[in-house]
Amino acid sequence: MTFDIKDTLFTLLTLDGISGHETALADYMQQQFSATAHEVWRDRLGNVVARYGSESPDALRVMVFAHMDEVGFMVRKIEPSGFVRFERVGGPAQITMPGSRVTLNTEQGPVPGCIGIKAYHFAKADERTQSPSLDKLWIDIGAHSKADAEQMGVRVGTPITLYNPPQLLANDLVCSKALDDRLGCTALLGVAQGIRQQPLAIALYLVASVQEEFNIRGIVPVLSRIKPDLAIGIDITPSCDTPDLHDYSDVVVNQGVGITCLNYHGRGTLAGLITPPRLIAMLEQTAREAAIPVQREVAPGVITETGYIQVEQNGIPCASLSIPCRYTHSPAEVASLRDLGHCIDLLTALAQQRPESFPIEPIPGTLQEHPLL
């Protein structure tokens, strides 16, 4: 069976799922994993886990993960006029909100809408050039009253997603909402297809995680069951080939997946990842041997679950693979199908390595080294 990267990605992009409302994505990922995995389960929080490779209880456990949720909004109040006030879920770029099209995902089905903007003809000078604050914005769903909106199924707490169907651009680029992190979810499914008939020496766990955009910790409940020896996250990172970022970093689209050397929360270093040098070396060596292009990145302002996994799970080595993406957290993110393919190839090659190739240190204070080293 041939894995179609574009079709899989576009299918995932048609599904909506802000943090805490990933059910449609989880159903799809679970269905796809079930065709190839030894075992698939979903935990109480909604994380989907698929197990591959060695079934030995002493096998090295490698966890590869990507988050299913996307940035979006939630209904906070319905005005008597039928206009909808909303709150952010995650970090959608506020400057892009006015005029954006959205989908309200009600229990009765999707309701289309748009984020209103003051009529240009009546706007004062500063209102024409400055983005309004969140409390000055509203969503227009065409309702003529609060009762009318409620009749459509809109309630306080209704999840809202950005609306921008995926389209292909030149040079294998894709433009869409929610490439963060449907690219990573596509990579998981690509790896699942690539290893489905391979006898792996490691136990590989592919995890589609929840609530990354909300609190970055949605994957934590998975750790107690898997107890991984090493974890690798797949996510996006800002591509710095646009006019505003060309002098910031060398990470650009269509030049391969990024290997994170350092990332941390942009408003402080209370959480983040410093990738162990030996793990970076292993990833780069695997890439060289398979002729897969990669890029190194240092990304302040970017944070993923790896920042918490390493301290939650015995200080295990963690790495992040980053797919370069333009216009992050906007309705029109842009990324490369080639980079996505290279990410899949690298992880597939990594999964076929021998256990002794992985840089795993024995737990300090124990008399016994890791059973596979």
Q: Which residues are catalytic?
A: 212
Residue 70's SS3 state is: strand
CB atoms closer than 10 angstroms to residue 274: 14
DSSP 133: P
Contact 272, 265 (CB under 8 A): yes
DSSP 18: B
- What's the 3-state SS for 277-333? HHHHHHHHHHHHHCCCCEEEEEEECCCCCHHHHHHHCCCCCEEEEEEEEECCCCCCE
Residue 167: which H helix or E strand, with range? strand 167-168
Residue 84: which H helix or E strand, with range? strand 84-89
Rounded to the nearest angstrom, the gap between the alpha carbon of residue 329 and the centroid of all alpha carbons in its chain is: 11
Place of tokens 């809109």: 154
Q: Residues 319-335, buried b or exposed e (16+ Cβ, 10 A)?
A: bbbbbbbbbbbbbebbb
